[in-house]
């Protein structure tokens, strides 16, 4: 009895999926092209759709939830295939969810910016302190470095001057005295 009931439920779901139709890759591409759809990440969404449903997707609640879970933007498709009456009903039912989402996003956005603003200030103060500490150490270190290298620098310049003079004399054919 349980097996028979399960089979009937499965057959019923398949029949419902057939009745509601299918979304095919070709249909999505034509809709996107025809409507000059410039949704963000549309190409990526189409590729993900092709990967998941290469033969097209039966329009079922399960498949639609799966598409949403996978991050596919189905909003642009919904708007283009529903009649104006169906679109109004869709907006009436889904509108409160949109408002709740925007409200939640706003609360999170404010908290995020408050937290990052404080962190940015702390970073700026720390960077300024680090820069001050670096400058206090860097100038004297540079002076010590310059003094330490000065004898070698003078010797190098003397050797280079003598080498240039010798090479120049050789070029002119003058012997060194």
CA 44 to chain centre: 13
What is the tens place of the pLDDT at every residue in 119-150? 898 999 999 999 999 999 888 898 888 899 88
Distant-in-sequence, close-in-space partners of 110: CB < 8 Å, separation ≥ 6: none
pTM score of the predicted model: 0.48
What is the tens place of the pLDDT at every residue in 83-103? 888 888 888 888 898 899 889
3-state helix, strand, coil in the chain (%, to 5): 80, 0, 15
The first and second tokens of residue 23, run together, are: 């979304």
CA distance 89 to 153: 85
Q: DSSP assignment, residue 70? A: T
The first and second tokens of residue 173, run together, are: 């054919």
């Amino acid at each position: 009895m349980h097996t028979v009931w399960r089979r009937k439920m499965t057959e019923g779901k398949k029949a419902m999926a057939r009745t509601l139709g299918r979304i095919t890759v070709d249909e999505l591409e034509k809709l996107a092209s025809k409507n000059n759809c410039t949704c963000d990440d549309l190409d990526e969404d189409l590729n993900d759709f092709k990967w998941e449903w290469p033969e097209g997707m039966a329009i079922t609640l399960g498949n639609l939830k799966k598409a949403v879970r996978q991050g596919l933007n189905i909003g642009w498709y919904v708007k283009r295939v529903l009649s104006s009456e169906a679109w109004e009903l869709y907006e009436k039912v889904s509108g409160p969810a949109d408002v709740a989402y925007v409200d939640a996003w706003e609360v999170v956005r404010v908290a995020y910016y408050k937290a990052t603003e404080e962190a940015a200030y702390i970073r700026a103060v720390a960077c300024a302190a680090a820069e001050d500490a670096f400058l206090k150490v860097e100038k004297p270190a540079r002076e010590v470095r310059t003094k330490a290298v000065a004898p070698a620098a003078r010797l190098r310049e003397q050797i280079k001057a003598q080498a240039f003079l010798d090479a120049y004399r050789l070029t002119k054919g003058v012997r060194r005295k």
